Structure 1
Amino acid sequence: MDQLNTIFTQLGEPSSQTPYLFLGNYLNRGEAHCCVSDRQRTCGAYKCKFPEHVHLLRGQQETRKATRAKGFYDECKRIYNVKIWKSFMEVLDHLPLCALVKSRIFCVSGGLSPRTCSLEQLRRIPRPTAAEGDELVCDLLWSFPEELPLPCLAASEGCCYGPEVVKQFLKDHQLELVVQGNLVKESGYDDTFADGKLVTVFSCANYAEERVSNKGAVMRIHEDLTYIFCTHECIEEHQV
C-alpha cells in the first residue's frame, strides 16, 4: 500500500484526468502491517468511482489456486471468513484478461499464447471464468517472454515465447507494442525485448524483500502513444 500511495503521489490519483490501467497481481504478497486485500479493495474502490478511467486486468495471482498458495485465502479466513474469500473470487472471475490502448498497444499481465488466433478470439473468452483448466486463459496469465531459439515453448503453466512470436503477433493484428507485467526487472522495466516491441513493467520495488532488490516502475503513455517510465524505490514502512 505504501508503494501504491507513492505512485499516486508522484503521478496523481486515479481520476477522469489521470486514467490508470493496472496489469494485475494485486494479491501476491503482503506484510504484517498491511493486508493483501487492502490493495485490491483500494483499486476496486477507484474502479467504482471512475469506472471509465480505471481499468483492472486479471493477473496470475487472482486465481483460486494462487490465493490459496500465497496466503490470501488464509488472510480472509483469519480476518473475515471464507465467504469473503469466495466473494473476492467472484469479483476477480469477472476481470478482463487483456486490454488495448487506442487499438495499438496490447496489454496483458502474462503474455501471448500459441492458442491465440485473433483478437476476436480473446474478446470471446467468457466471463466470469475461474481460469483454472482453460489453457488460453492460463497462457494469458502465466506466460512470459524469453530469448529462445524456438518461437514458443511450453512451461508448467502457460508458456514462454520468443521475440519472433511477439513480432508476428503485432504484424498479424496491426499493433505497435505488447506490454506485460509479470517479470521482476532490476530497473522496474525493460524495453529491449523483440527489438523494443515488448515492454515489461513491474511496479513493485524491492519485490519479496530480501530475495530481490529492484526498483518499481510505471509506464506513462502520452496521447501520441509515446511513453516514458517513472520509477520509485522501496520506502520505509508507514512513511506515506
Structure 2
Amino acid sequence: MAAVQQYPGMCCPCPSSDVDVWISQLKKKQALEYQQLENLCSKVKEVLTEESNVVEVSSPVTVCGDLHGQFYDLMELFTIVGEPPETNYLFMGDYVDRGYYSVQVVSLLLAMKLRYPQRVTLLRGNHECRLTTQVYGFYDECYATYQSCDAWKCFMSVFDCLPLTALIDDVILCMHGGLSPSLESIDQIRVLDRFQELPHEGPMSDLLWSDPDDSGWRVGWRDNARGAGFMWGSDVSHDFTYSNNLAFVSRAHQVQDAGYNWYHDGKVITIFSAPNYCYRVGNLAGYMTVEDGTHTCYTFEAAPRDASDTHSKNLTPYFC
C-alpha cells in the first residue's frame, strides 16, 4: 500500500504516489482526467482553507509574478531555478487566461501545492475569478478540455480559497495587485472574508487590482483606469511600509519590459514572470530570490515552443 503523506488541514489526504503521478503527467503538458482533477481540487481546498489571508513564509524562497497559462515558460523557470521541494516558491497570482495552457499550468501548481504544502505558496490574482476567466479564455479552455463547465467550476471553488497575501520573514508583504485605502495595517488583511468570488470593489478587490503610480502623481490615491482598485502614490508606500515595519511590498499584475521594476524609491517592486506575454509583447520574465536577509532579482527569456504547437488563438491585448 502506498505511503500517505499527511498534509496540514487534510482529513483524508491523497497518497503521495498518486499526486506524484499527476505532477509527472502535467509536466508532460497532459491535462488530468476529470475525476483526477475533481479529486485534486477537493484535496487542495482543504490545504488552502487552513492558511491565513496573510501566509507566513520563511526564506529562502523564489517569488514569481503572472504566468498566464504559458506552460513552456513555467517549465523554463523550473529548469533555471529548480522544482519543489528543492526550491521554495511563492507565486503571486494570475495563473490562467491569455496563454494556451492555463489548465495544465494551474493544475500543476495546485498539484505541487498539495504534494509540498510548505514549499509552495499560491496567492490569488485578479484573473482567479469567475467574471474575468469567462472573458479572457480560461472558461473556454476548460470547456474545450473537459467538454463541460464542471472543471471550470472546480477551479473556481479552489480560487475562492486562495490566500490574498504572504509575508516573507516579516518584512516583505506580497500580493497580486497592491495597497488599499481601506487597509492601514497587515492585521486588517488578516480579518477579511476571502472565501468568495472576487468583489468588484473594497479592500479584497484592491489587493488584487491596484497599481503603484509612478507617473508624477506621487501623493495619495486616485482612480485606476482599469475600473477596479486604485493608483497609489509613493507617500502611501512609504507610510504603509514604515507603519508595518516592512522593507518593501512585492506585487505582480503589470507587464514589465525588463521582467521586474522598482517603484516609489525602492518601497515597491513589480515582478512579471510571463516572458513574451501573449506570445508577442517581447518582454523578459522576472523573479526574485529572498535568502539570508537579501533579495536578488533575475530575468529569463521565453522558452522555445514545441514545433508541433499549432495554436492560433486570437489573443486580444490585455495587460492585467
Q: TM-score range by the shorter chain?
A: over 0.9
Q: Say which of 223, 229, 242 aligns to 1:171.
A: 242
Which position in structure 2 is the counterpart of 1:214?
Answer: 283
Distance of 2:118 and 2:243 partners within structure 1: 28
Listed as ranges, the matches of 1:44-59 within 5 Å are 44-59=110-125
Which position in structure 2 is the counterpart of 1:39?
Answer: 105
Letter in 1 for 2:125: G
Larger RCO (CA within 8 A; separation ≥ 6): 2
Distance of 2:125 and 2:181 partners within structure 1: 19
Residues 23-74 of structure 1, C-alpha deviations (whole Å, 9 max, x = no match) = 000012123xxx2111100100110111011000000110111100101111
Which position in structure 2 is the counterpart of 1:190?
Answer: 261
1:227 aligned to 2:295? yes
CA RMSD, 1 decimal = 1.3
CA contact (8 A) 1:107 1:180 kept: yes
CA contact (8 A) 2:194 2:204 kept: no
Which position in structure 2 is the counterpart of 1:14?
Answer: 84
Q: Secondary structure at the match of 2:109?
A: helix
CA contact (8 A) 1:63 1:132 kept: no
Q: Say which of 142, 158, 161 aligns to 1:94.
A: 161
Distance of 1:202 and 1:173 partners within structure 2: 25
Flag structure 2 segments of 5+ consecutive residues without an equivalent. Answer: 1-70, 308-320
Which position in structure 2 is the counterpart of 1:4?
Answer: 74
What's the TM-score once normalised by structure 1's chain length? 0.93
Q: Secondary structure at the match of 1:208?
A: helix
Distance of 2:120 and 2:304 partners within structure 1: 27
1:135 CA drift (Å): 1.3
Q: Secondary structure at the match of 2:179?
A: coil
Distance of 2:134 and 2:199 partners within structure 1: 13
CA contact (8 A) 1:189 1:199 kept: yes
1:82 CA drift (Å): 1.1
Q: How many residues align?
A: 232
Which position in structure 2 is the counterpart of 1:26?
Answer: 95
Q: Percent of counterpart pairs with the same letter?
A: 36
Letter in 2 for 1:60: N
Q: Say which of 271, 274, 280 aligns to 1:204.
A: 274
Please identify the structure whose Cα radius of gyration is greater.
2
Distance of 1:22 and 1:194 partners within structure 2: 22
What's the TM-score once normalised by structure 2's chain length? 0.70
Give 4+ residue runs of structure 1 displaced > 2 Å after superposition: none
Q: Say which of 133, 137, 145 aligns to 1:71.
A: 137
Letter in 1 for 2:259: G
Which position in structure 1 is the counterpart of 2:304?
Answer: 236
1:78 CA drift (Å): 2.1
1:209 CA drift (Å): 2.5
Distance of 1:223 and 1:39 partners within structure 2: 30
Flag structure 1 segments of 5+ consecutive residues without an equivalent. Answer: none
